[in-house]
Structure 1
Amino acid sequence: MKLYSKYFNKYKLPFLIAVFCVVCEAICDLLGPTLMSNIINTGIEQGALYKVYYWGILMLLVTAIGACFAVTRNILASKVSQRMGAELRYDLFEKIISFSEVSADKIESGSLITRMTNDTSQIVQFVNGIMRIFLKAPITCMGSIIFASILNLKLSIIIYGVVAIVGILIIGSMKFSYPRFYKLQKAMDEVNAIVQEYLIGVRLIKAFGTYDKEAEKFGNVNMNLMEKGISSQLIVTFVSPLITLTVGIGTVIVIFVGSNMFALNLANPGDITAFTIYMAQILTSLIMITNIFNTFVRTKASNARIKEVFDCEGDFSQRTKIDKRDKDNGVDKVSGFEKINGDIKFENVTFAYPNGSGMPAIKDLSFSINHGENLAIIGPTGSGKSTIAWLLLRFYDVTKGKILANGHDIRELDIERVRDNIAIVPQKPMLFSGTVSENIKWGNKEADFELFNQAIDIAQAGFIEKMQDGYESILGNAGVNVSGGQKQRISIARGILKDSSVLILDDATSALDAVTEARVREGLNSKIRNQTIITITQRCGTAMFADKILVMDNGRKVGYGTHEELMLNCEIYRDIYKTQIESSKEV
């Protein structure tokens, strides 16, 4: 598996030592029946007690050496597999957080959780098994056949037949098991997705009283998981007893044929005893091999799902392509670029969501923002307002046209550097587990006391001081223990504290009352300097105070200018104003 080559190279030495221990342990196990044969043939049968002691002590010594090898490989297997699992999970998480939005839309979060937990655990178990028993089983099986053949070639023919039949059963088991195990993992994804949906929307479910529907939905996916689990184990359920029966019949035939050969002086009692033990070892090995192949089938399914994650496009893939192109042309377009100064320009931008309907969300959009300006973007729901922010942050790349920052196409700039210069306060504020202070400083851990207090003041987040532990108060997952308005103010403070060249407020004050929103707006206008502010809103009362207003409708620019200019020239803006402002005055 090329995917795991770097882990194998890192742990090559302990892996090879473990393999060596497994081989030595298997050889010790294989010597046991032969030594037992010598005890019977040269000691007990001939009445030579000293030979019984000699071969018995040698047998105990070989067993003890085998046990030492077993302990060593167990320790190595546990350490290597667990460390590899930890690194694989870390690499998966690192890959997931660098997903492009296209990749994030492609694989559901519930499925990603399953892949990081269940699928990686399956890989860990497989690696542990390789170093402990997966190599030992075929070595023991082949060794038992070889040693048995050395003892008595005629009796070995029975073993060859048994192994051939079992091999056919194992191949059949693999062929039918793989698709079933893959469906099992998919069913597990569905269960995780439903549970995650419930946990995220638990308050809404309580409010609407849809417990029964949610329970029914979970019951359906849970039953599907159960059915897929039964289906995946069905093959193993049939194959394992058939293998045991085949080897058992082989053992009976060995004893029957061996007894006849003993009567004709063609076999010794010790040889027949050793053959019986070798048949038992072969049975154990074949059952192990069956389990190995079933584990391999499950691991193959898990490996395919993990590979799918690693194959997803990351944020940096487009940058890598452009870097290569520039290198080929002998040009370094981002040399000396440090900071976006706030000059933003959209030139004939058209964009359609990759996994959407195919209809453009933005159509031939052109506008510019100068350094230090306050731009408001207004329009009805679905007009493409938030899409502008996603494109500026390069969550997606434009389909046509280009976006310029400092005169550079943002696709030619380092994506991390672009995002370092842009702060966003999203429409749905996302808070993380931890203290209030940690959440506010999340985007700028090095912020000084003055900047921190200024951010709190502008965001009107003075309520934090009244909380039980003030700024050290613990927030629950996603900030479940604070109100919607409090979440937004904490989120606004976090965006301000980043102290970036561009601040995007994506409907960030929708949960605030008019007075609090006005104070936040006044604070942003009076206390923040040298920063370009983009306010995405549906409120005309918020937009009208901006330096420039961009009016969007169905993905197109239908107006651009000041409030006064738009009242004269833009019918859609006038309609919004009349609906929101004039109608409220009449009331």
Structure 2
Amino acid sequence: MKLIFQSMGKYKWAIFLAIFIKLIGTMTELTLPYILEYMIDHVVPAGNMRDVLLWGLLMFVAAIACRQFNVMANRRAINNAHKVSFDVRQALFKKTANLSGDKFDSFGLPSLISRMTSDSYNVQAAVAQLQSLCVRAPMMLFGGVVMTLLMDWALAMILIVMLPFLICVVFFVSSKGIPLYTGVQKKLDSVVRIMRENITGIRVVKALSKGEFEKRRFAAANEDMARTDMRAGTIMAIPGPFMQLCLNIGLTMVVIFGAIRVNRGQMQPGVILAFLTYFNMINMGVMGLNRIFMSMSKASASADRIDEVISTDDGWEIYLGGENGGGHIRFNNVSFSYGSESRTDADFAGGKRELALENISFSLNKGESLGIIGPTGCGKTTIVNLLMRFYNPDSGSITIDDRDIRSYEKDELRRKFGVVFQNDMVFNDSIKNNIDFGRGISQADLDSAAEDAVASEYIDSLDGKMEYMAAIKGANLSGGQKQRLLVARALAAAPEILILDDSSSALDYKTDSQMRSAIRKNHSDSTLIMIAQRVSSIMGMDHIMVMDNGTCIGYGTHEELMENCPAYRETFEMQTT
């Protein structure tokens, strides 16, 4: 709940105004039964029609004012809640976008999605209720008790005796609700994960006729979440019937003892009618408190999950020490294992860490090129992840321009790169905006980048050319068209370091060769790192690294590796014969 109150602080005066208006509306509502009692017991028996009309008009005005104040307060509360949830989602999105790879992996994409959607909605609902129901319900409860005490304290004691039991039950049950609803949100993470996998891989599911299998898998996760939610809801619903029973017993006792007191002449009959109305208000207040505690239990669990992300260390610490590198890019005995940042040495006890990279060393001068080749899963992309500091190495150092990459600010480091990743993202936007990517690049540079990526010809053939709208994930583009679009994006800002990770796998040999020639000619100042499966794509590089199982098994030029590296020679012969 700390996150909720902190987020509300920015709008404290607007929230205070909504609460104040709600307070006035509720206090006005509490006067209605009192006015009714006074009319029945004092105005009507007097037989003065003028007084009856005046008091009736007063009751009508009070009812209209009550309605207007409550509507105004509710609108302000909803508006404030939207502003608070907007800020929470913005902070969560910003933090998520800046998490290190290891931190991102530890939360998981489905969990981050559910925190951004379901959890932020629960926070929004809680903020709205804190301004409306959290004012109205206690006022109805305790205001009703005060008004009944003022009217007839002896009859009011029936209700006062019951209140401590009701409040204790509500607080006890609500204290059990937070961990239960935390479990519900975790189950929702699993549902979102399966749903996301099926939406992303729907073609594979259909192609392999696995629709029924996936339906059963989703149904199992959905049923698990529903079961957990029902358990939480069942426990949180316990106070409702219990409070209703106690209040109905109290109401019956009020009618019985009230009738006795009226017969004895100890009270007026209008008081009983007012008491019945106040009991109804008190009942609404108690039920409102039950709703509040159910909602707050959900919101507290959701706020804790959101705060867990926002308050986590994003893994980006500035490191001012360390040795100088030598060369433009240098890896010095770098080893790395995924998940190591979020685990302690005790987690690895009894077994060796599974290293994704082990003792990798190489150096590139500015403008040189490095080709990396090797089987799937051998650590090629991991080198890129470490160079861009998505992850921090377990040991060794990485330097750019004689500086440890940990000494760079995030934006300072990332601006050096133009990069195309495997399965990179094409956004639902124009071709122009996909290449520019919000960087404000001139049209001339965009055209030049498209030309170098051998994308101009197909872009010019599209309806609208650069303004042609790409579908989500580039669904209306071929694989080769998407890859050339992504390469154009990487080239557009003339990066200091250009990284192409398997970016030509969908291209024919001729187009691949044309693109590599254009990059060598027009981007010779950029240091190039290219990851490829084809020997033909990297054989002209200044340096070639052959990877296998996280280690470097060959390093040199194409000619040197043909003589000294059997694995490279075997790959070349397989692809050229």
1:510-534 superposed Cα distances (whole Å, 9 cap, x missing partner): 1222222222222222232211111
**TM-fit CA distance, 1:37:** 2.2
Kept in 2, the 8 Å contact 1:443–1:495? The answer is no
Tell me what 2:544 maps to: 549
Q: Do the aligned residues in 2 keep the contact of 1:346 with 1:368 (CA within 8 Å)?
A: yes
Amino acid at match of 1:351: F
Question: Aligned match of 1:494 in 473, 479, 489?
Answer: 489
Amino acid at match of 2:24: C
- Deviation sequence 1:199-218 (CA, Å, 0-9, x none): 11112222222111112212
What residue is the counterpart of 1:349 in the other structure? Answer: 334
Alignment of 1:93 with 2:93, yes or no, is yes
Give the superposition deviation at 1:50.
4.9
The 5 Å alignment of 1:375-524 reads 375-442=370-437, 444-449=439-444, 451-461=445-455, 462-524=457-519
Provide the C-alpha distance between the structure 2 equivalents of 1:302 and 1:143, rounded to a whole number of angstroms. 32
Q: Distance in 2 between matches of 1:59 and 1:305?
A: 48
Opposite residue 308 of structure 1, the aligned amino acid is E
Q: Aligned ranges for residues 108-257 of structure 1 at < 5 Å?
A: 108-257=108-257
**Larger mean Cα displacement after TM superposition, 410-419 or 22-31:** 22-31
Structure 1 match to 2:530:
535
**Structure 2: 5+ residue stretches without partners:** none
What corresponds to 2:311 in structure 1? 311
Matches of 2:130 and 2:65, distance apart in 1: 21
Distance in 2 of aligned mates of 1:157 and 1:23: 25
Q: Could you tell me which amino acid in structure 1 is paired with residue 30 of structure 2?
A: L
Pair 546,145 (structure 1): closer, same or farther in 2 beyond 3 Å? same
Quote the offset at 1:54 in angstroms: 4.5
Structure 2 residue matching 1:11: 3-state secondary structure: helix
Worse-matched range after superposition: 342-351 or 222-231: 222-231
Task: Work out the CA distance in 2 between the residues paired with 1:556 and 1:107.
Answer: 29
The equivalent residue for 1:337 is none
Contact kept, 8 Å, 1:460 with 1:489, in 2: the verdict is: yes
CA contact (8 A) 2:372 2:546 kept: yes
2:449 aligned partner, one-letter code: A
Distance 1:443 1:86, change over 3 A: closer
Name the amino acid aligned to 2:123: I
Q: Secondary structure at the match of 1:433?
A: coil
Aligned partners of 1:233 and 1:498: how far apart in 2?
54
Q: CA–CA distance in 2 between the matches of 1:272 and 1:264?
A: 14
Distance (Å, rounded) in 2 between the aligned partners of 1:149 and 1:408: 77
The DSSP-based 3-state class of the residue aligned with 1:161 is helix
Q: How far apart in 2 are the matches of 1:269 and 1:341?
A: 97
Counterpart position of 2:354: 359
CA separation of 1:82/1:342 partners in 2, compared to 1, >3 Å: closer, same or farther?
farther
The answer to whether the 8 Å contact 1:349/1:399 transfers is yes
Distance 1:496 1:385 in 2: 21
Deviates more, 1:376-385 or 1:38-47: 38-47
Measured in 2, the distance between the counterparts of 1:189 and 1:168 equals 33
Residue aligning to 1:29: 29
Q: Is the Cα–Cα contact under 8 Å of residues 37 and 274 in structure 1 kept in the other structure?
A: yes
Structure-2 separation of matches of 1:214 and 1:543: 41
Deviations 1:63-97 (A, max 9, x none): 34333422331231122111222222222222221
Provide the secondary structure at the position in 1 that maps to 2:530: strand
Match in the other structure for 1:573? 568
How far apart are residue 121 of structure 1 and its match?
1.5
- How big is each residue's C-alpha offset from its partner over 1:165-208, in whole Å with a ceiling of 9 and x where there is no partner? 32233234314433332232223222222221111111222222
CA distance in 2, matches of 1:525, 1:110: 41
**What's the secondary structure of 2:132's corresponding residue?**
helix
Give me the whole-angstrom Cα distance separating, in 2, the residues matched to 1:394 and 1:105.
14
SS of the equivalent of 2:317 reads helix
How big is the shift at 1:456? 2.1
Partner SS, residue 510 of structure 1: coil
Q: Residues 5, 278 of structure 1: CA spacing in aligned structure 2 closer, same or farther, 3 A cutoff? A: closer
- In structure 2, how many angstroms separate the alpha carbons of the residues matched to 1:123 and 1:342? 51
Identity rate, percent: 31
Give TM-score, length-normalised by structure 1: 0.90
Alpha-carbon offset, residue 46 of structure 1: 4.8
> What is the SS of the residue equivalent to 1:500?
coil
Classify the secondary structure of the residue corresponding to 2:555.
strand
CA distance in 1, matches of 2:209, 2:510: 34
Aligned partner of 1:515: which letter? K
What corresponds to 2:287 in structure 1?
287
Q: Secondary structure at the match of 1:396?
A: coil
Taking the aligned partners of 2:270 and 2:478, their CA distance within structure 1 comes to: 82
- Residue identity opposite 2:485 in structure 1: I
For the residues of structure 2 that align with 1:410 and 1:108, how far apart are their CA atoms? 26
1:107 maps to 107
Give the CA RMSD over aligned residues.
2.5
Q: How big is each residue's C-alpha offset from its partner over 1:75-124, in whole Å with a ceiling of 9 and x where there is no partner?
A: 31122111222222222222221121112212232222222222212111
Partner of 1:301: 301
Kept in 1, the 8 Å contact 2:77–2:128? The answer is yes
Q: State the secondary structure of the residue aligned to 2:552.
A: strand
Deviation of the 1:286 alpha carbon: 0.7
Of residues 16-25 and 136-145 in structure 1, the stretch that sits farther from structure 2 once superposed is 16-25
Q: Greater CA deviation, 236-245 or 119-128?
A: 236-245
Asked if 2 retains the 8 angstrom alpha-carbon contact of 1:343 and 1:405, the reply is yes
Shift of 1:380: 2.4
SS in structure 2 at match of 1:13: helix
Q: Is the 1:22–1:135 Cα contact (8 Å) retained in structure 2?
A: yes
CA distance in 2, matches of 1:49, 1:249: 38
Deviation at 1:57, TM superposition (A): 3.6
User: One-letter code of the match for 1:460?
Assistant: V
Q: Is the 8 A contact 1:341 1:371 kept in 2?
A: no
Q: CA deviation at 1:248?
A: 1.2
Q: Deviations over 1:251-282 (max 9, x none)?
A: 11011011112222222223222222211111
* 2:332 aligned partner, one-letter code: E
| TM-aligned CA distance change 1:262 to 1:514, over 3 Å | same
Query: How many angstroms apart in 1 are the aligned matches of 2:38 and 2:32?
Result: 10
Hey, what's the Cα distance between the residues in 2 that align with 1:8 and 1:211? 45
Contact 1:443–1:497 (Cα < 8 Å) also in 2: no
Q: Aligned equivalents of 1:414 and 1:236: distance in 2?
A: 48
- CA 1:30–1:298: 2 relative to 1, 3 Å: same
Three-state SS of the structure 1 residue aligned to 2:130 is: helix
- Conserved? CA contact 1:19–1:73, under 8 Å: yes
Counterpart CA distance in 2 for 1:173 and 1:295 is: 13
Closer, same or farther in 2 for the Cα pair 1:84/1:341, shift >3 Å? farther
* CA distance in 1: counterparts of 2:337 and 2:53, whole angstroms: 84
Q: Please give the per-residue CA displacement for 1:488-514, whole angstroms capped at 9, x wherever unaligned.
A: 111112111121011011111112222
- Secondary structure of 1:404 counterpart: strand
For this pair of structures, how many residues does the alignment match?
566
CA distance in 2, matches of 1:383, 1:401: 19
- Give the conservation status (yes or no) of the 8 Å contact 1:25–1:66: yes
